[in-house]
Structure 1
Amino acid sequence: MTVKMIAFDIDDTLLNSDGKILNSTKQAVTKALAKGIKVVLCTGRPLAGVTSYLDELGIIGDEQFIVTNNGAIIESISGHIVSKKVLDNAAYRRLVKYGHDNGLKYYALDDDSNVYTDDRDINRIAVIQAFENRAGIYFRSPNELPDDFEVTKVAYVGEKSDLDPYEDAVKSEFKDICYVVRAGEWFLELMHKNVSKASGLQDLSTKLNIYPDEIMAFGDEQNDIPMFQFVGNAVCMENGSDKAKGYASYVTDSNDNDGIAKAMDKFVFGK
């Protein structure tokens, strides 16, 4: 298999347990870029939450791309939008109302990486997300925002015990308008129904004339499963969830033990 594109999830994949990129990963990415391989960060984060990693990896210019918000936005590193799929105002209002009616804390994200909520007691997960993504938090209800206000996603957040009882119900309630995914224990994320990491990679690979079997993807969680199903070589980190591992073609070492570099040596560089 000739690898022409490599897609990386960020949290617990590209980043180790300390939130850092391993030197072995940096070296492997530098080598891949030198070979002309497209290196694509494919993440649930907004753009503001990944720019420092792009700089650190040397991914720059209008010929390299990023997939953010779980596939809702695809753009070049220099800011050219390839595609954008968002939730309209009616969908946003419906999701907020459901959260209020069922006691679910939430935040919404716009296409400028800003966090919005009207939960009086802002959940700690929303605060952490805003900090990690270098985003502002705006305390606004839907009625305090423009009638055409759109969001890239809404996330119901809380402890595992808060979200577990609602996961199936939320998927059923919003299956007509949303792609719903449990992105981790503390997140139940809802996006445009045609959005996923797979759809983002598909749109981008079509633009670049790259076939799925020429794409390698690294991930660790349930929101990585769609891209695992799309690409030719799906690599799950050893620290990943059992569900994600079930869809991988290869399980590499952990994000703390050079898992990315080891898999790239095996499949990309032929060591």
Structure 2
Amino acid sequence: MAIKFIALDTDGTLLDSNGQILPSTKKAIKNALNHGIKVALCSGRPIAGLEHFMKEVGIVGPDQYAITLNGAITRTADGKVMTEDLVSNQLYRKMYDYGKKNHIPFNVVSPDSKIITGDHDVDLMVYTQAYENSATLYIREPDELPVNFAVAKGCFVGRADLMDHWESKIRQKFGQDSYVVRADPHFVELLHPNVNKGNGLKELTEKLGIKPAEVMAIGDERNDISMFNFAGTAVCMGNGSEEVKKHADYVTTSNDEDGISNTFKKFL
């Protein structure tokens, strides 16, 4: 069955190790779009952190899409929300209290891409997160926000060794009520329990009338495994982790070695 929809992870997949899009990747994506294939970025980033990349490769307008925040919100490229699964205010407060009690840097991402932390001594990784996603950073405690304020995801952040220490404890504390994912060595993220990249991809493609067999997913990290399990064709980048490669149908070259272009040439 012909591929009609391609879901592309961003960091480590669309972007090379310098955070840039290779010329071969731009050419491959634009060629696929010109042949009527939909190409959507499927990322842990909020939409503000994806828009400039989308424009760079031609993913624009009401008939192209982005799967953001690990699947919490899917949108058209011109901003219309297609699906949305948010973390409740009650659960957000529990996450905040846990971070404060255990001295773990914590922030949330709002549905409109704001980065919000109650930590007055802001961790460097929170600043980095805001910068990389072109997002505004706010210092607000939960009581300074509306009582019905829901968030797209909560993020415990910091040094890799700090996250290594706390990841299992965070999973034990919040795993029953949320989807917990280690999307990066510096981040442990908590989302609505229905949320993962695979479910976001499923919700969107069902709305578009596209079958799983017509979907190809390309990624490199553990948070990409759920979309690999959904898509008819799963491709791991050569720079991906060994665990993720086990879930792929095919392993391409790395993000510095024309991995996207080589994949498109093989399957399209």
Q: Same fold (TM over 0.5)?
A: yes
User: Partner of 2:188 in structure 1?
Assistant: 188
- CA separation in 1, counterparts of 2:213 and 2:169? 35
Cα distance between partner residues in 2 of 1:220 and 1:10: 9
- Unaligned segments of structure 2, at least 5 residues: none
Partner of 2:119: 119
Give the superposed CA RMSD: 0.9
The one-letter code of the counterpart of 1:187 is F
Structure-1 separation of matches of 2:169 and 2:128: 26
Provide, for residues 27-85 of structure 1, a one-character-per-residue CA deviation record: whole Å limited to 9, x for no partner: 11111111111101000000111111111111111111111011010111122211111
| Whole-Å separation in 2 of the counterparts to 1:21 and 1:203 | 27
Paired with 2:77 and 2:187, the residues of 1 have a C-alpha distance of 27
Q: TM-score, structure 1 length as denominator?
A: 0.97
Corresponding residue for residue 147 of structure 1: 147
Aligned twin of 2:171 = 171
Identical residues among aligned pairs (%): 46
The alpha carbon displacement at 1:89 in A equals: 0.6
- Aligned residue type for 1:206: E
1:155 aligned counterpart, secondary structure: strand
Tell me how far 1:213 sits from its aligned partner. 1.3
CA distance in 2, matches of 1:244, 1:125: 25
SS at match of 1:67: strand
Equivalent residue runs for 1:258-269 within 5 Å? 258-268=258-268
Task: Work out the CA distance in 2 between the residues paired with 1:218 and 1:133.
Answer: 21
How far the C-alpha of 1:124 sits from its partner, in A, is 1.1
In the alignment, which residue of structure 2 is the partner of 1:134? 134
Task: Give the whole-Å Cα distance in 2 for the aligned partners of 1:184 and 1:221.
Answer: 8
Q: Aligned AA for 1:122? A: V
Say how many residue pairs are matched. Answer: 268
Q: Distance in 1 between matches of 2:136 and 2:81?
A: 22
Structure 1: tracts of 5 or more residues without a match: none
Distance of 1:227 and 1:14 partners within structure 2: 16
Equivalences for 1:5-16 in 2 at 5 Å? 5-16=5-16
Per the alignment, residue 216 of structure 1 pairs with 216
- Provide the rounded CA distance (Å) in 1 between the counterparts of 2:215 and 2:126: 33
Q: Which runs of 4+ in 1 moved over 2 A?
A: none
* CA–CA distance in structure 2, aligned partners of residues 163 and 133 of structure 1: 21
Q: Which residue of 2 aligns with 1:36?
A: 36
* 1:72 alignment partner in structure 2: 72
Q: CA deviation at 1:106?
A: 1.1
Equivalent in the alignment of 2:227: 227
Q: Per-residue deviation at 1:175?
A: 2.0
**Distance in 1 between residues matched to 2:164 and 2:128, nearest whole Å:** 20
1:166 counterpart SS class: helix
Q: Distance in 2 between matches of 1:36 and 1:174?
A: 42
Structure 2 residue aligned with 1:110 = 110
